[in-house]
Structure 1
């Protein structure tokens, strides 16, 4: 009955996955594209690469209209999705590279030079002739990056390229992207839930939430907008309890001879002076809060406002 009802009287609802998003990127710029799950990040990248067609508005990438998927356009872009793969599962990665060489009509000399460079930078020696299904996640991700960049694209759309990788492999991928950007002057849009990826590679960040662009600027500006406080870390010569520390700010952590407080930005100097005067402090540092905390606070405020305003549906 459920199947029949869906066939003759299907219920639908309209979800605006991306709404009124507008930005410009300079050639060679590396930009972090941030937002919670379902915010519209992947949808935006798919529209910029021509896989999805926007219902309204226009986009231009490297002088081309993405939805036309012209050959000259496809030669200049690449889309790497950490949760998808382009390598053929039962064949060695080297075979997939040869297929891409044929697809993009890469001259043999250029192909060999690029492969030599990528093999050295990514440490591909010894794994190129292994079946893809026998590679570890980190090895496969390195091969995915090499395959996606063989044609030396000018524009890179990187969607969670380090997802699931260990810390060392994440750093290796970041270093490779940084090197590629510097060597070829490529423009990079990077989405990631690992803030270390963004802070290591991007000076500018775009933040999208519920399909709308809510911030466009540098990381320092995002931290200042998303958080009204700063973090004070203490090393004490004698222990102080949470109740005693609460007189100076919001206690994040208190245990033994170390403590962490959050204080309003406008009162940092005064609170730090009081701490140094009234407590037996061995060391004190003032820092911006972690970017993860800033993002959580920013999206938490927007979700609360959305709930009050009756926003229900999100896409992306």
Structure 2
């Protein structure tokens, strides 16, 4: 049970390691510019951030993007599409050119046909002028006569339609003899006789000069101070109907209707005179101007009474003053 008297864990230094493996180096040589560019790594440039605010050239930005390292592959169908479009364009041009040539030929044929027709018509006219009768001229004469008759009947039908359209209706018959010329609009009578004298307005010579020609006080109301053209025959021209204007409508009963008094009472009122000889009116209704009083409110009478009252009160006031002085 006694421990050993010698050391068994004594540390001994290690021996030398194994020799290193030999490295075979090639002789040093200078790098070319191409190799330097290939070994050059572009800086990392962000497309979103530029905290320093540097101005970065586009080539550096594209180099950092790595687009130059990618190989773009174009699909073969693009070439097929371009070739198909080229062929379609060429065929369309050929079709358009062919169509233009065909239209040109058709126009040329039409022109030749018209020239041939004109030439035949000229030859026919020369033969007719020379007196040569063609075998088919009889049929042509008959067709020409039929066309002439057809044209005449067509003109007759058109004339009948125009007459029916422009026929005087009842309204036209009523307004046929109505004078709506400029003379009526200006208040002038209808002039039936024509003279060689110069026509001018007689009203220009019958007016007086001065302020009485048309100017007046604003307070005056003298519109109807005299009859409207009392000495003129304008009323007879306007209100006198022409004879036989309604004869086409009523026929023989027109005189009977005109003589019938429909709105006349059976028994006359006292104080009325319905004799057509005396009560007949040959013109428009004439109104009489109302005679306006000079003093409608009685102001003049009131002022006169006030003056008389003041004159009577003056001697009474003097008597009162004398009595007061005596007292």
Q: TM-score, normalised by structure 2?
A: 0.19
Structure with more contact order per residue of length (Cα contacts < 8 Å, sep ≥ 6): 1
Higher strand share: 1
Larger radius of gyration: 2
Task: Give the TM-score normalised by structure 1.
Answer: 0.19
Could you say which structure has the higher helix fraction? 2
